[in-house]
Chain A
Amino acid sequence: MFSADKSPGPLPAVVGVIAIAVFAMLLLRIHDQWGLLVLAAVGGIALLVAARTGAAAYAERAFAAHEPLMNGVVIIAFVSVIAVLARQDFSLLILATVLLYSIACLGLSVQLGYCGVMNFAGAAFFGAGGYTAAVLGAHTGLPHLLIVLAGGVVAGLLGSLLLLPVLRTRGHYAALITVAFGILFRSFLEVNNTLGGPQGLTVPGMTIFGWSLGKGLVIGDTTLSFYFNYALVTLGLAIVVFGVTRRLERSWVGMHFDAVRIDEVAASTFGLNVQGLKIMAFVIGNVFAGMAGAVFAMMTGFISPTDFDFSTSLVLIAIIMLGGLGNLWGILPAAAFVLILPEKLQVIQEYRFLLYAGAVILVLLFRPAGLFPRRLRRHFPLKAPSRA
């Protein structure tokens, strides 16, 4: 039925995207616990059936063959989900949070997934962006889009402090550097009173070109949730960051990243500037995380050191591991799994860390490449794969 011979038309991919969008919408919309459990079960079974019958692979091929078109379809699907949920504060907040974590994870993907640079301090760079937004938003009149950018720059600069240690060390020794830095960052925030100490800081809401995102849009006589605005802005940022990451992956730089990750020594014998590439990956990743953190801070309106502790860094890493290291599309379902399910299923709320630790352990033992492993690089993404 799903033959491998023909290059498929875009239809199967469109159907797949619509199915996922409807599922996500229902997941965010339904609050009844039994309804959610049934939905989760149906989703799981559907995924299994799609994977077994080859429908998933077929849809994936269709997606790859019509990528520009499909990127548009995905964006439309996202906007539709946001529009349908326009009046639901909580659902939109979760959706925006998933997108922001995904942006930070895109950064981590560049570092760990592409270039193999370990970073166990993702939350620290996310937090650096958040605190930048808090300080700049409260004490300066900078346009808020610039503040988001500044969040990224500050995170990038902060990360640059670690460049020397990260480059000089390897393996476990390099892991230590970022672990120590993550703890140092959190510990610093807790004892530093100018940055609010353990109580944290309030962050002013975002205003873009005079449009205050803190106020819900009024259309006719219905007022939309103000998270609707944030969800749209977050989606915009996610699209930009995703696009940049994708371009990076498909460029020579991405190819060089892969070479460095797979074998550093071999890469350097072929004349690649290993150190330079590592610096590039590390800084770019931290900038992404910082920008996401800045938007996160402005959206929630309040940040404290507990938002950015070591376990948050681990959540970020768990997301990219679950999604499949280096597979950009895998991040979204993994982030949704890690963030949405515990929020929605009150039954497991208390047990969420235990459950996701268990889930990651199982994935590592039985599917070490993640749920949706990264495919081999395709040099001509617009052409259908030849059968040779």
Chain B
Amino acid sequence: MDIGFLAQYVLSGVMLGVVYAMVAVGFTLYFGVLDVINFSHGDVLTAGAFVSLATYLALRAAGVDSPVLVLAIMLVAAIGSMAVLGVVIAKFFVLPLRYAPPFITLLITLMIGIAIRESIRLFYPSGSNPQSFPHLLPKTAYHWGNLIVRQDTLILIVTGLVVIALVNLFINHTRAGLAIRAVAQDGETAKVMGINFEWIVLLAFALGSALAALAGVMNGLYYNEINFGTGLMLGIIGFCAAVVGGLGNIYGAILGGFLFALLQTIVVIAVPSLSAYKDVFAFGVIILLMVIKPTGMIGEVSAERV
């Protein structure tokens, strides 16, 4: 195969991987602090994308033209509102069920996800149809042989990588990050050390949901289309990525995200005739990987004290 085409696939694979990794980091943050799976995460992503779209339409109607300003306001609106939504979900639905079986939390967040998704479908104007998302980034393309690289793709990939690096920096090198890690390791002991448990949990949910909102906007800017089900698949893929990487481990989530994108891309490159089966293949490999490493690639140490 031509090297240019190959590079093209690799580039789109990296773009997918960045989005998956950002979603997966959210899952792993929630799991870290509370040992819960928040299945509404994917739909929070969709909601973030829709908030930014609505903001865009409102700004357009108000006559704001500068794309940079518009994009900045869109991002602030989406990220801010989703951080609040994340806090609400944690405060009113997840924290009250802290001592319930994990299955209950999983189910309630699934239902919250459905509620968010259905609300968008029903209450956003013509929300059951796909909505076109504006082109806001420069589209100038560079050509190297068969490889075509658009500026917007580069900007998105770099943004994603920088954000992931920043989150990593935040978790590993700030006081708040230290508190999150402490709560993740042992909530009770963290409390004894004077860490405000509830605040840290809410912070983790706000951070994760903000990341989801950003991923939603990036996804919209990349495909220039969003619909009410956008986040469903992204959420499930992000969940798989986080689990296969090893829940609660931020490097695992990033690794898992890129791995999933790699699996999907491999099928398209290696056997183009079977490219329709790329999801079947990727999920199949994920299940196999779980057989080999039942607690993920960078797994938690699992020992049970009785």
Contact = CB atoms under 8 A, between A and B. Distances in A.
Interface of A: 112, 118, 162, 164-165, 168-173, 175-177, 179-181, 183-184, 187-188, 191, 265-266, 310-311, 314, 317-318, 321, 350-351, 353-354, 357-358, 360-361, 364-365, 368
B287 A172 contact: no
B294 to A, nearest CB: 4
B277 A176 contact: no
Contact of A173 (B104, B114, B243, B277): B243
State the majority secondary structure of interface residues on B: helix
A184 B290 contact: no
B122 interface: yes
A204 B200 CA distance: 58
A191 B280 contact: yes
Contact of A365 (B97, B110, B291, B295): B97
B102 A171 contact: yes
18 contacts: A173-B294, A176-B286, A177-B287, A179-B239, A180-B283, A181-B283, A183-B236, A187-B280, A265-B304, A318-B111, A350-B122, A351-B118, A351-B122, A354-B122, A361-B108, A361-B115, A364-B104, A365-B108
Contact of A168 (B111, B233, B290, B296): B290
B37 A175 contact: yes
Interface in B87-109: 93, 96-97, 100, 102-104, 106-108
Contacts of B77: none
B305 to A, nearest CB: 10
Interface string B112-142: 1011001100100000000000000000000
B118 to A, nearest CB: 4
Interface of B: 31, 37, 93, 96-97, 100, 102-104, 106-108, 110-112, 114-115, 118-119, 122, 232-233, 236, 239-240, 243-244, 247, 276-277, 279-280, 283-284, 286-288, 290-291, 294-296, 302, 304, 306
A181 B247 CA distance: 19
Contacts of B110: 314
A168 B295 CA distance: 9
B291 to A, nearest CB: 5
Nearest to A311: B114
A169 B294 CA distance: 5
B287 A170 contact: no
B97 A321 contact: no
A353 B118 contact: yes
A353 B296 CA distance: 33
Contacts of A317: 107
A179 B233 CA distance: 11
